[in-house]
Structure 1
Amino acid sequence: MGQFDGKVVYITGIARGQGRNHAVRFAREGAAIVGLDIAGPIIDHATYPPATADDLEETIRLVEGVGGKILARQGDTRDLAFQQQLVADAVEQFGRLDHVVANAGVLTWGKVWELTEEQFTDVVDINLVGAWKTLKATVPAMLDAGNGGSITIISSVAGLKAMPMQASYTASKHGLVGLTQTAAKELGHYRIRVNSVHPYAVDTPMGVADTEAHRLFEKPWVTPHFVSMLDYHPVASCDEISDAVLYLSSDSAKGITGAEFQIDMGHSKV
């Protein structure tokens, strides 16, 4: 028996990294998975490798390998009609929608006045507007089901503390906090809880394989802004983030909504 037996979980950005890990972990606990990922280049100013269609197929294989059911498609969170159709097909196939994890996101680097227009608008459109479109597509199905449930929005430590060289990322992740808080207030009386999760560095391609990040961290004026309290544990595993996501989605967190759940090695407090 799993703690999410019979539940259906919608996850964005499932091709690899945190999204894939959330999908596999929920599936192990009995949930059916609905997911999407663009699974290809999404911004030409990224300095880390993009997910691929093969990555998405591997996620499907891993979910099915632990006995899970999955409906996964290649698509963009910025495409509202695509998300709405995926939700409709999921409800037809699985009969309900219980939990949402708005996980998809991108990162770019540059000083406020040196970022290109694309570097700013692309990141805000994907990270913030894409998350809003995820909620717009999924919340009506949750309300129709009338089962309550939860929404977990993956923000960042940059949603709590401004980060240099990350103006568009910081703005988008701060915006997600506002989106979370508003949704929590609007959905509480429907028994739907909404929380944000705030990781620091995570062991994913975006977290550890970003060539521009490694270059910038060598600059003396940048380094102090990226220190944490736990210097012996500089990078979180995907399981650490999934632990939080599954907890916030579970009945153990039935009294938690509007929370900013930090897994940041104390970085936001430095």
Structure 2
Amino acid sequence: MPYSPTRSIEGTVIAITGASSGIGAATAAALVDAGARVAVCGRREDRLAKLVTELGDDKVVPVAGDVRDPALNDALVAAAVRKWGRLDTMVANAGIGAYGGIMDLDDAELTEMVETNVLGTVWSVRSAVKQFRSQGDGGDLVIVASVAGFRGGADEAVYAGTKHAQVGLAGSLDRELRAEGTRVTLICPAGTHTEFAIGAGRIEGSAVLDSYLHPEDVAHAVRVVLEQPRAVRTTVWQMWSMQQQS
């Protein structure tokens, strides 16, 4: 047979964290469109229910909860396995941010940001790897981070620190897990027009948001890396809109 640079992900089973809105919800829609089945989690149960209504309860299973809880991540994987028998991919997408100088945000805000962005990613990865190893055939880990993980900006020091942590985590996981058939992809978008940081440094309706990436752009990147042949891996994908400074 002739070589094909793409493969179908129809019928694969994918877990997505932070899927109640923004990039996570767009990714769920893009992957279901490609024929995948998705288990989604987020803190807003009503948003997850809306996603199920839009995409179909035969294609989506929701699990409400906070990604900072290791048990939530285990429950997400278990829901996918219970409904479809396996897990092929984890998209660790959940994340929050707020703008402000190092002394401007309070202790609770900073703690939530670090725990969500760093520990939430670690817990989702561990839950997925445990399942991949029980299946014995590897899988895909896709970590949605940010270009801030390579170059932090003013008034986002702690946020950028959490994204640098994700960059380091992904690089190490690639070296650790590749031999057992697990690919690790780091997707790093610049500013994306979502609910991210609205009221915490971004203003809903601001004209600058129109110059940002769309969540569907990032969702497309996730789909592209998953549709690569299993012999190919993309380790880092940075994304900017044409109107944004890099």
Say yes or no: TM over 0.5. yes
In structure 1, the residue matched to 2:87 is 97
Aligned ranges for residues 196-235 of structure 1 at < 5 Å?
196-206=186-196, 209-210=198-199, 212-214=201-203, 234-235=211-212
Contact 1:102 1:154 in 2 (8 A): yes
Structure 1 residue 254 displacement after superposition: 3.8
Structure 1 residue 132 displacement after superposition: 0.3
Instruction: Name the aligned partner's letter for residue 37 of structure 1.
Output: G
**Aligned mate of 2:126, from 128, 136, 143:** 136
Alignment of 1:63 with 2:55, yes or no, is yes
Aligned ranges for residues 148-167 of structure 1 at < 5 Å?
148-167=138-157
Structure 1 residue 33 displacement after superposition: 0.6
Structure 1 residue 251 displacement after superposition: 2.6
Question: Alignment partner of 1:251: what SS?
Answer: coil
Question: Which stretches in structure 1 are left out of the alignment for 5+ residues?
Answer: 40-52, 218-230
TM-score (norm. length: structure 1): 0.80
Instruction: Name the aligned partner's letter for residue 181 of structure 1.
Output: G
Q: CA RMSD in A?
A: 2.4
Instruction: Name the aligned partner's letter for residue 60 of structure 1.
Output: V
Structure 1 residue 253 displacement after superposition: 7.0
Question: Alignment partner of 1:77: what SS?
Answer: coil
Contact 1:157 1:267 in 2 (8 A): no
Instruction: Name the aligned partner's letter for residue 264 of structure 1.
Output: W
Instruction: Name the aligned partner's letter for residue 56 of structure 1.
Output: L
The share of aligned pairs that are identical, in percent, is 27
Contact 2:24 2:93 in 1 (8 A): yes
Question: Alignment partner of 2:169: what SS?
Answer: helix
Question: Which stretches in structure 2 are left out of the alignment for 5+ residues?
Answer: 1-6
Aligned ranges for residues 170-209 of structure 1 at < 5 Å?
170-206=160-196, 209=198
Instruction: Name the aligned partner's letter for residue 243 of structure 1.
Output: H
Structure 1 residue 211 displacement after superposition: 6.0
Deviating above 6 A after TM superposition, structure 1's stretches of 4 or more consecutive aligned residues are 266-269
Structure 1 residue 23 displacement after superposition: 0.6
In structure 1, the residue matched to 2:15 is 10
CA separation in 2, counterparts of 1:267 and 1:178?
28
Contact 1:98 1:147 in 2 (8 A): no
Structure 1 residue 135 displacement after superposition: 0.7
Between Structure 1 and Structure 2, how many residues are aligned?
237
TM-score (norm. length: structure 2): 0.88
